[in-house]
Structure 1
């Protein structure tokens, strides 16, 4: 049952210690140096790092020595960030061939709080890598398998530098590029396209391998790597085997991941051997992300600089360098870049690359030492007389300050409500006046909640928060005493000066309803009677008591009141009756009005058309009248009037003689009598006949 086990945790103030985590004993030198300096130090493998934040409350600082990112879950990375930012712990990362950017920390939560840029701008010609992921999304990869593959692909892309190239091919019966081979600049866009990968149909692996081969064989990348993830059940195994040999001959390495117990392991193993890659048989899909992250590091940009140099002091006022006269030479480091802002570079290489850098992150501090702490790059440092002193001062600068003894946190849990009371008092038991106090609650899901503390008395503060889920809740209080502020500590320009902290843990082992260990038999009996059921003893066998016996079962009856529906129906009928009796509708009159309206509309349209035609006719008549006003046929003649204009003869008119040039005027001569025309002659004859002239 849920309440068969309970756990609690008590936070006791006292001397803390330092945790050193490494792989294959790389942190032994640092751990030994700290122990020689009198610092309580515990060294362990990365696998021993806890998953719960409360287990780090007694740790003053954490040192990660040459640890690659694939050994840390995303929850552990978030926990380390909370440990630094919210609990004020110290985080120190020491370099090596599997640390910083070379260890895949680019784009990780921990990388965001470190004082160096893990993917710096390229200052020298370094080899670039190209990675192509070939993922089987056929019907056999549905469910958890394809989801794990998508998460693994996103994790592999996250580790690459922005100058590395990446491409993703998915295949079932056909293959297609989800992400074309190119620089890993827009990682968010790549993640979005990865999330849209779904399951398909059959499995034909050869075309997908051919496309990956064609994309990489002519590229100029120094490192070309392919990760092939499938169950190997393909319709063209011979083609796939030949492509594996061709890719190996072209300098392209291929690592294969066989999914499930029914995978064609022989084919995938042969492809990996022919292409000088690695073969991973995987039965648990949860292991796929770790494999992808490990393989992605094969093509990461070479970020290791191996050359002998003497570190140069950039910031001599750092507390880490107090009392250290000269520094011995180092033989290499992991390439990083300065981050700017409040991040301080203390030591640098001869090419101005950071070697030692520090920063304040939230309430805690972080230190980055990009060279190693063993004989690989620091052989002279191990023999150096101030080696232990150097690491002691690094840890003491970054370590979490001891918890103040003048503030006590009390908690009380009632159901899902937790009450927090804070009491501040001095060594003599008198209450202290605080200038400011801020509270915070860290949930088991690594989420932060603000705790609003209100003063309830002199030196007393209280607040409440809900704790619905089981687990350990950390109450963190940051405060400043009024006397410290009066002395000038904790000014706005340096808000962390004079700040003190206090922590407490609230453990919810299980849900509140599991606290009651007795049953409520009367309530169960009442429910049974209300529903006409039965109460069965615990020792009864459900198969023998006939749970579904319907004998004597009364079907429930539900009485539905009909007053409201009937009243609404009566109102509707009443209004209809009134309308029928009082409102007269003359259908014939309505029809006549409709016909008249249609007729009027039609007649109006006809009248408008006729009016337009008449206007057009009048316009044309006016134009004709204006054009013929001066013509021959427009003139009227009387019988006794002599016509003075041109006449129309039966012969065609000849061309008019050319106009003579103007000459000097001559003396006027008497005009000859005009010659009579044929019409004039007829008119004169008619007049004579009327007068009785015999010659006419």
Structure 2
């Protein structure tokens, strides 16, 4: 009796049978094939996508060369796709298909239905769309290289955005520059540097694009005036041409531009405004450069002395703004101050700028004009405790008129001090003489007599004189609040440690100002001493001006309302006058006048936390501004050199007068390709923004006239975007409607399509796009197919092998079965 076999033994015997084993393997392979297995095999062959620019701006010869390069890449690349593009991109499998594409120019031919609906329109170019199409069409089982053959001139799309997507996908973009097609010069933009004002010249800037260096005749006609022509030399690319204009009268005025012998022209209608007139009234200080800045920006600036101001408000109606710059109140009679006040209340605008002349009990304080100003003049009851010393050069070079004028100036400065304030005088040549030891200024007759006895002699050495001032000022009572030295010299001194000496003076809270008299003075050193000493530096060719300087210095140091030190301006309440101005880049001011804000005033700029610098007040129908510093190079020397200075005053004055001189409704039209942006700004006659209005633009002159509604995006600002199909040669008229009421109109000539605008190959843009992806600009052929160390994982399917093994097992089992039966 045979032993019973276990199940495992029975299976083992079964498997030992060849036929059963083959059937089991076949079943296992079929089951594996149903799972569709695969494995990844790294490889470094390159798949190439050629982006081919067929737009009008590309030179035909460059297109032929691009097709030849694409055919070569088609032969050598592991995988290939070509993406011809103009207004749109079409991925194709071969260059032969690209050669069969239908190319049209819709700017000169009407697009038809049928086969042309799938054609490429060469009158536009969208490089971004072509790059996106190439990225999505590449065979990702190979290393991806995209070769863009283009001039880089695009009328739509964001090519940089598309290139960044390449970098994220690990693709390389190589850019090959294509030459641009020569086109006639074209006018592409017209800009006015300032609002057009009746009766005044305006500077216009015409932007002309040319494919090559050439000479043209630019014709212009303003309004119904005569046609003018001028020769303009052009360089390849964009050219800016200055065009002087003079608008004769107010109201809509068209300006027509044309390039003789070419189809390019430009028509734009400007709303000419009444002339803006400003009355500048200055004291006796340095002339402000603001007047020339305003003249360049379209202002008519009239200048008068303070004593020539009108005594009646009606006589100020000729001006829209009156600027008072460092004017002493004693020079403007009560009747003239009252006229200014009444004029502001009736709608006038005044800017009051301070300075050394504007303080004092008999100045502007409690005057009629102060009633409408945003700041009040603050007068201290108690005079500050002051010690003032003058170091006067009495070397031989000062002989004659110089020493006489200098002595008179010194006596005038003495007269500005109160009896209890201290005064001292050190005269120097090679030696130092304490002419007036530091003492109260009460004994003026004795002090003046000592000053008169000074006689010039010997050479200049002012180090010991400054040292004497330091010694005397250091010995005064600690209650002395102001310790100041004024150094006057006309010559060169001996070298010494002046910086160290002035540093000791500053440690003793002594400030130093300097006056360089004549061209022979050591100006550089004197300027350095004033800078180290936190004072003012002056240069005069005429010694007669010394007295004015000493008077200002003595007056400023002996009065609390004037502060001369380096001061930083910080923003206060919001104001349109400050738009676009970076106050953090502003240099320090060197002085200001202390004032107090009124309840009705708004402080726009401050010194520190609570000291007003620039303030505004709506007084009646007019506006009053006060600037507590000056407009001249004394306190504002560094501000004048700051780029924000001119912009601040231009914006401040423009905003103050905008309701009178700028159309209450503005319409701006800009375009890129067929995309137009419409922007309107609405204000009332009083200058306030208009919100919640129904704002529309009526478009005529286009193929589809229509009315475009604008949406409000900010106080008084409305905008809309719309598309206008290319209509070369058409005059487009944009009429602004507010609550269905026509208010203003702009007429623009639609120039030829952008692709016909002359251009040069955008080398820098193409270089930048390549760099974004690690690609190369204008590379050799080998680089185009170089994987650059990159690999791509190719998926290899395994299920065919499993099916093949299963089939082999089945066939083998059948063969064994047949053999066994035989």
* TM-score, normalization by structure 1: 0.32
Say which structure is richer in strand.
2
Superposition TM-score, scaled by structure 2 size: 0.28
Larger radius of gyration: 1
Higher relative contact order (CA 8 A, sep 6+): 2
